[in-house]
Structure 1
Amino acid sequence: MILEVQELTTLFPEFKGAAQDRITLREVLTDTRVEAKQSLFIPIVGENFDAHDFIKDAIKQGAVAALWQKDKDLPYAVPTDFPVFFVEDTTKGLQEVAEYYLQKVRPLVIGITGSNGKTTTKDMTASVLSRKYKTHKTAGNYNNHIGLPLTILAMKEDTEVLVLEMGMDRAGEISVLSKLAHPKYAIITNIGESHIENLGSREGIASAKLEIKDGMSEDGALIIDGDEPLLHAVKLDERSLSCGFDSTSDTQVKIISTSDDASEFKVNEKETYNLPLAGKHNVKNASYVITLAKKAGLSNDQIQEGFDHLQMSSMRYEKHIGINESLIINDAYNASPTSMKALIEVMAQLTTKSRKVLILGDMFELGSQSRVLHRSVAEAVTDKIHAVYTIGEHSEEISRAVAERQPQIATKHFTDKETLSHHVRAALTADTVVLIKASRGMKLEELLNDLVK
């Protein structure tokens, strides 16, 4: 980011200090524990903290200007010439600065949402489009009303394509993000069960995801899951492009072959692609990216090159060499019934390891449907799975349902990670593969300390 302090006077007319000087801003500072030279300090107010308390630390760390909420007292320790812009709400101020900078850089904006697969699809999209354009993408989980504007403000001024992941907990949040980012192209990866506690039903989730249209360009396109009945009406919209295994999809996908680490598939019975990821769900995610990339003017060779250079975000199907040369797959970043079942299906298809162990934890925000949805995971567990171990308050329903459906599969529920890891560690062999999957709050990646070589 490069802005001049004086530019902010057009956004925020109430200010003090040297706000009209040509002082260069190179980044935004919200965490005063890190150094950020030539930065704009934006103190966010949270439920349990108020960053206004750390203005002196911000200046020490390199802040040369700040936004300031009008109802907060400005400390006397702030230098009189230090530029301060007064706003009603600093989070909204952050969003206003991001929107201003976005309009200044004017990249092609792509918004990606969905119950599952957002991050994988974001990583694929950025990898593919970077073959032709200077591309910037959402880092980590910066996909909410604070993280998305920070992502925008972190892009370089010569960025040509901006890939934004858009997350939500409840209705209305995607609309805010879409109206801020104004994507030309948007992708809805799927409609699952995540946040059903807040949204009431899958229909409610679909409606919330479709808010991504609220800020879209009139000349843009919405790319959707063509196999999802809840999106059937959208499928008929002239601005929508559907992708899926259904023959009525605009981009129809057919899997040719799969291995432990790759998938080969055809698109519309013509083009063949190789993806360095296993799983039917990943092939569908790739079909969204192919459809988007063609709208953006990329060739088939450039798309394949992007797949070849794909780098995934952390804790998404991370492979580790475990004790006794076993294989540990860490996908503990987050989980829903849909994503958990999809990865169990991938596990069942692995050929390099025959002894397959699942470590499954609680899935959050499922509300009154939690018990039923946890039990539904057992539908994906076949006789190809050797053992299912669960941990948490709700996941015991998974092991119970598996025991009822597949009594020959070893099942056991644990109440603490240490006992679980010791149990699994003692049984690791060179022919064992372990999948770790749960919602983020379970922090099951902590098991790696005991299981990884």
Structure 2
Amino acid sequence: MILEVKELTRLFSQYKGAATDQITIDGIMTDTRKTAKQSLFVPIVGENFDAHEFIGEAIKQGAVAALWQNDRPLPKLVPTDFPVFFVEDTTKALQDLASYYLEEVKPVVIGVTGSNGKTTTKDMVASVLATRFVTHKTAGNFNNHIGLPLTVLSMEKETEAVVLEMGMDRAGEIAVLSKIAHPDHAIITNIGESHIENLGSREAIAQAKLEITEGLSESGLLIIDGDEPLLELKTQEKQTISCGFKEQADYVAVIEEMTDDMSKFTIGQHHYQLPLAGKHNVKNASFVIALAERLELTPAEIQEGFQKLQMSAMRFEKHEGHNGSLIINDAYNASPTSMKAIIEVIRDLTSKSKKVLVLGDMFELGEHSRVLHASVAAAIDENIHTVFTIGEHSEEISKALRDHHAEIETHHYNDKQALSHHVRSLLTTDTVVLIKASRGMKLEELLTGLVD
């Protein structure tokens, strides 16, 4: 990011200090514990904190200007020539600045949302577009009303394409993100059960995801899951493309071969190879292909992007475990849909015959939690050797297995250390262990005891 302080006067009419000077801004500072030279300090106000209190530290850490909520008194320690821009709400001002910067840079903007697979799809889109464009993408989980603007404001002026992941907890949140970013094209990966606690039903979740169209360009393309009945009406609209495995989809993926580390499939007349296993990943790739063709990339460029794919952390992250075992850490997040999908991948692995699942609680399922946890057992069959569950509601998975697959060894724990010791005792060169749960369970902590 490269802006000048004086540019902010176009957005914010109330200011003091050297606000009209040619002072370079290289980035945004929201955390005063980190040095950020030549930065704009944006003090975020949360439920339990107010970053306005740290303006002095921000200046020490390299801030050269600041936004300031006008209902807060400005401390006397702020130098008289320090540029301060007064706004009603610093978070809204951050969002407005992100929209302004997008207009200045003018990249192709791709919005990606969905209950599951949005991070993987974002990574795929960025990798493919990078074969032709200077590309920037959401890092980590910066996909909310604060993270998305920070993603935008961290891109370089030379950026030609930006891929923005859009997350949500409640209705209305995707609409806000879409109106900030004004995507040229948008992808909805699927409709699952995540956040059903807040939204009440999958139908309501579908409507919340469709909010991505509220800021979508009039000529923009919406790419959706063609296998999802809740999105069927959208397939009839001119600027909508559906992708999936059913014949009625605009882009039909046909799987030719799948191994532990690779999927071969065709779409139309073109053959592709993805360095990931799993039917769900092939569908994610189909969204990317539909988008790439709209942007006039060639099949060769698309394949090159797939081959260069680098996944975000804790998504099917492979580690060499004790005694030559394989530990797969997919503990970034979980929903019933994503948990079933990855269990299917483990079930079909051929490189290891002893398959162990470590499954933790899935959050934000509300009154549906116990039933939805129990539903995961349907994805587990005799190809799985042992199932461990940990947490409050994940025990429903173990209970359902005992009722329907008594031959599968199951254990439930409430203590991570005890669980780790038991899992470690099973590790051999022929063992694969999957670790999967919602982020709040922090099951990646198990790696310490399982990985050499």
> Does the pair score TM above 0.5?
yes
Match runs of 1:216-235 below 5 Å: 216-235=216-235
Distance 2:404 2:257 in 1: 29
Deviations 1:46-98 (A, max 9, x none): 11111111101100010000000111111110000000000111000100111
Distance 1:367 1:81 in 2: 52
Unpaired stretches in structure 1, ≥5 consecutive residues: none
Unpaired stretches in structure 2, ≥5 consecutive residues: none
Matched length: 452
Calculate the TM-score normalised by the size of structure 1.
Answer: 0.99
Distance 2:393 2:129 in 1: 41
Match runs of 1:7-86 below 5 Å: 7-86=7-86
Distance 2:450 2:47 in 1: 36
Match runs of 1:311-390 below 5 Å: 311-390=310-389
Shift of 1:425: 0.6
Q: Secondary structure at the match of 2:341?
A: helix
Letter of the aligned partner of 1:360 in structure 2? Answer: L
Distance 1:190 1:30 in 2: 32
Shift of 1:418: 0.4
Aligned to 1:307: 306
Letter of the aligned partner of 2:264 in structure 1? Answer: E
Shift of 1:358: 0.3
Match runs of 1:199-218 below 5 Å: 199-218=199-218
Distance 1:339 1:51 in 2: 36
Shift of 1:171: 0.2
Shift of 1:342: 0.2
Letter of the aligned partner of 1:436 in structure 2? Answer: I
Deviations 1:260-298 (A, max 9, x none): 000000102x11100000000000000000000011110
Shift of 1:10: 1.3
Distance 1:276 1:449 in 2: 27
Distance 1:313 1:371 in 2: 30
Distance 2:225 2:402 in 1: 33
Letter of the aligned partner of 2:358 in structure 1? Answer: I
Q: Secondary structure at the match of 1:154?
A: coil
Distance 2:236 2:199 in 1: 25
Shift of 1:216: 0.4
Q: Secondary structure at the match of 1:227?
A: coil
Letter of the aligned partner of 2:252 in structure 1? Answer: Q
Aligned to 1:193: 193
Deviations 1:372-408 (A, max 9, x none): 0000000000100001100001100011111111101
Letter of the aligned partner of 1:152 in structure 2? Answer: V
Shift of 1:112: 0.1
Aligned to 2:418: 419
Q: Secondary structure at the match of 2:153?
A: helix
Distance 2:276 2:102 in 1: 33
Q: Secondary structure at the match of 1:64?
A: strand
Could you tell me the percent identity over the aligned residues? Answer: 69
Deviations 1:205-264 (A, max 9, x none): 000000000000011100000000000000111110000001011001100010000000
Letter of the aligned partner of 2:93 in structure 1? Answer: G
Letter of the aligned partner of 1:265 in structure 2? Answer: F
Are 1:184 and 2:184 an aligned pair?
yes
Q: Secondary structure at the match of 1:168?
A: coil
Letter of the aligned partner of 2:236 in structure 1? Answer: L
Distance 2:328 2:404 in 1: 25
Letter of the aligned partner of 1:395 in structure 2? Answer: S
Pairwise CA RMSD of aligned residues? 0.5
Distance 1:438 1:7 in 2: 45
Distance 1:253 1:431 in 2: 32
Distance 1:17 1:52 in 2: 17
Letter of the aligned partner of 1:27 in structure 2? Answer: G
Distance 1:64 1:419 in 2: 51
